[in-house]
Structure 1
Amino acid sequence: MTISRLRSSIPVDPYIAAIVGMVGLATLLPLHGQGTAIGGHATDVAIALLFFLHGARLSTTEALVGARHWRLHLVIFLATFGLFPLLGLAAHALAPHLLTPALWTGVILICILPSTVQSSVAFTSIAGGNVSAALCSATASNLVGIVTTPLLAGALLSSHGGFSGTAALDIVVQLLLPFLAGQFSRPLIGGWVIGHHRLLGLVDRGSILLIVYTAFSDGVSHGIWHQVNATQMVTVFGIDMVLLALVLLITHFGSGLLGFSREDRIAIMFCGSKKSLASGLPMASLMLAGQPVGLIVLPLMLFHQIQLMTCAALARSYGGHAQAGSGETGGALLQAH
């Protein structure tokens, strides 16, 4: 087997590899003193820029495509913001001492985040599902999540010692206002933003990498690697896998019982089971101010890789002959993620 074939056979997302690299860099060269303050301000700017660009890129018309499938969107919304939190709370109730409080906060954080957009649509396309409905639902999930996720955090994470009382205002100032500014600026810069999607994709990913670096720098300064061991890492990995498997099974069979078509069931399964790392990390850095954010986001980082690997395999399996017709589009979207 050649080196190129070997690399292509290893299911590792290069973006995840870069994130792991940032964790390693923060471990070896964490920010200290004035560097910490500069990193914090840079992170705030990066978060605002990230959501401004999301607002400028989003076409209102495109987001409303497929909106008539209200039953499908309702099921996805309930899976994302209802089923996930219930499963997370049930896991914590059944085994509260299985993880440390910070790691359990991280698991609950996963459960209250919105869905992804790019990978949800990509996997739905590869599997031969309802792409327009997936695009509408995933986009709506992120819009609604700007408000719903902080509300759920206030209700659920406060009991785990993880929600800052000022987080709602921070969310409005650093997420919602830049997003709305981007929407209002769309007539002026929307075309340029869409035309430079690759450059903006680098800004998108660079912002997340900066957030990871600053979060883990703070974690290293507070002894993060003395707070988690290999057993806990394996336990988190197992909880993430079980959580994803349950949601996939429930959305698959539940949507069938509700009488949805095969295409709609695929969209429900892939959109309802995803959680956004791109939205989750900025939200965590705001909602969990004063908490060990580097430790808390570990479950989310693991979950992100697990969902990509698992759903990529499922999409190929579902796709069959439909993959030949939709694979090019789906592959392009997946690369964008």
Structure 2
Amino acid sequence: MSISNNDPTSRRGITQTLKTIALFILHQWLLIGIGVACVLAYYFPNVAKSGGIIRSEYSILYGAMALIFLISGLSVPREKLIIHLLNWRLHVLVQGLSFLVIPAFILAIVHIILAGDPDEHIDRALLAGYIFLACIPTTIASNVVMTRSAGGDDAAALVEVIIANFLGPFITAGWTVTLLPKSEEFDVWRTGDGDLSDMYRDVFKQLGLAVLLPLVVGQLIRWVWPDIVGKVLAKYRIAKISTACLILLVWSTFSSCFATGALQTLSASSIVFVVLFNIALYMFLTAVCFYCSRPPRIISGVSFTVKGKTFYPFQQMNPQETIAVCFCGPAKSTALGIPLLYAMWGPLSLYIKSKTSVPVLLYTTEQICVAHFFVHMFKWWHRRVERKSASVSDVECDGEGNANENGEKMDCPVSEAACGKDLADKGEGAGVNLSQEGNK
């Protein structure tokens, strides 16, 4: 009798457990999908490799990427794109981190490894690959998807992605050769000049057809049918398709990696080094991007007065822009990186080029996995900042007057813009922008 009485309770417990497991799987479906993609790439590399059965260099690098940016064009208001095109501070921060700060940091790490590893336990092809990785621009697809998922400003991410991938082909090749160590062991990469004309053609063709064209088409559709587009995006959760396309990009990347045999030929110590170093590198660079976007109050309060106007060049960015910077800054592009690598070092053997490409392939895949966890972290942080901002605004500035700490009404002798500045200086205002507050 006791067993029969407990049966309903047991069934409810089992049902609840199964629901919990199912919800966990649904929430982590991106990571699970990446895992499945890696397994398929390992056992069936010829399916999705470049030039393989499904011709992934077209079906995925053009098709899936075009779908991501079509959805972005449908989702992002045109006014936000124009605003961020004129946001000079955002451009300086993201492009400066991508093309100056990261290469300088990686170069220092490479020289430390060279000094501490005279027996070459770490393959020199990997070190050359890391210098190349540091010099390539930010990735095209995952930045926008992750920024949108975390509640960030995907318009800012879109603009920075387009700018970086226009600059990248002109900067990366010369910058990489300049930064390569001068020792003899790197001579093979320093003298491997290849013909870059085909690479330039392919890169800009991809940027035009897979990024700019679908983005413009999406914007036109949004402009003609704004209400219908908004309802369809909300009802069918179209943005989820962008995330699914990331799994296809990972599948294609790893298929090419396994097909060339690049991973299989490296020593276990080299593989472990690359995998762990990539995770640590991405997390460290994300922290650098965060503190550059939202510096401490002692720095954000620094101002300059020019012709009677006061400027705050280090003022904290708002949370949405901060999230965009944190996803755009540390990320690197496989879509541009691999074609550029093979074009730069065309005369070298496929074996050397494959080993050199391993840091690019693994880093660009691991960044998606780590960024998936940062999405949840930035969501939590964004909600926390918004709650603080709302509570401080209610107490300190109501638009007409102030309240002191005891809640007593006070005259507000300054403008709303100055009040917004006061919030930003206290670090409680989530990086309130002076010009935005003054226009409210």
Q: Taking every aligned residue pair, what percent have the same amino acid on both sides?
A: 14
Aligned twin of 1:2: 17
Q: What residue ranges of structure 2 are gaps of 5+ in the alignment? A: 1-15, 115-119, 181-185, 302-313, 343-349, 391-440
C-alpha contact 1:23 1:213 (8 A) present in aligned 2: yes
Which shifted more, 144-153 or 236-245?
236-245
Structure 1 residues 144 and 233: alpha-carbon distance in aligned structure 2, compared to 1, 3 A threshold? same
Q: Distance in 2 between matches of 1:104 and 1:112?
A: 13
Q: Which residue identity is paired with 1:176?
A: G
Q: Which residue identity is paired with 2:377?
A: A
Q: Distance in 2 between matches of 1:279 and 1:296?
A: 8
Aligned partner (choices 43, 46, 52) of residue 28 of structure 1: 43
Aligned twin of 1:307: 371
Aligned twin of 1:93: 111
Aligned twin of 2:304: none
Structure 1 residues 80 and 8: alpha-carbon distance in aligned structure 2, compared to 1, 3 A threshold? farther
Structure 1 residues 231 and 307: alpha-carbon distance in aligned structure 2, compared to 1, 3 A threshold? farther
Q: Which residue identity is paired with 1:151?
A: F
Superposed CA RMSD in Å reads 4.3
Q: Which residue identity is paired with 1:308?
A: H
Aligned twin of 2:384: 320
Structure 1 residues 303 and 258: alpha-carbon distance in aligned structure 2, compared to 1, 3 A threshold? same
- What TM-score do you get using the length of structure 1 for normalisation? 0.71
Structure 1 residues 278 and 195: alpha-carbon distance in aligned structure 2, compared to 1, 3 A threshold? farther
Aligned twin of 2:259: 221
Structure 1 residues 5 and 99: alpha-carbon distance in aligned structure 2, compared to 1, 3 A threshold? farther
Equivalent runs, 1:146-295 vs 2, <5 Å? 146-157=165-176, 161=189, 165=196, 166-186=198-218, 189-190=221-222, 204=242, 208-254=246-292, 255-256=295-296, 257-259=299-301, 260-262=314-316, 264=317, 266-267=319-320, 269-275=322-328, 280-289=333-342, 291-292=353-354
Q: Distance in 2 between matches of 1:90 and 1:144?
A: 27
Q: Distance in 2 between matches of 1:252 and 1:275?
A: 11
Q: Distance in 2 between matches of 1:244 and 1:11?
A: 25
Q: What residue ranges of structure 1 are gaps of 5+ in the alignment? A: 126-130, 327-337
Aligned twin of 1:78: 96
Q: Distance in 2 between matches of 1:200 and 1:278?
A: 24
Q: Distance in 1 between matches of 2:229 and 2:332?
A: 19
Structure 1 residues 78 and 66: alpha-carbon distance in aligned structure 2, compared to 1, 3 A threshold? same
Q: Distance in 2 between matches of 1:237 and 1:12?
A: 24
TM-superposed CA distance for 1:250, in Å, is 3.4
TM-superposed CA distance for 1:211, in Å, is 4.3
Where relative contact order (Cα < 8 A, 6+ residues apart) is larger, the structure is 1
Whose radius of gyration is greater, 1 or 2? 2
Aligned twin of 1:137: 156
C-alpha contact 2:66 2:211 (8 A) present in aligned 1: yes
Aligned twin of 1:330: none
Q: Distance in 1 between matches of 2:329 and 2:89?
A: 22
Aligned twin of 1:39: 53
Q: Deviations over 1:155-191 (max 9, x none)?
A: 3445584987232211012222443433554466455
Q: Which residue identity is paired with 2:62?
A: A
Q: Distance in 1 between matches of 2:155 and 2:52?
A: 38
Structure 1 residues 274 and 306: alpha-carbon distance in aligned structure 2, compared to 1, 3 A threshold? same
Higher helix share: 1
TM-superposed CA distance for 1:75, in Å, is 2.2
C-alpha contact 1:89 1:108 (8 A) present in aligned 2: no
Structure 1 residues 3 and 199: alpha-carbon distance in aligned structure 2, compared to 1, 3 A threshold? closer
2:138 is equivalent to residue 114 of structure 1: yes
C-alpha contact 2:45 2:258 (8 A) present in aligned 1: yes
C-alpha contact 1:110 1:299 (8 A) present in aligned 2: no
TM-superposed CA distance for 1:208, in Å, is 4.5
How many residues are treated as equivalent by the alignment?
Answer: 316
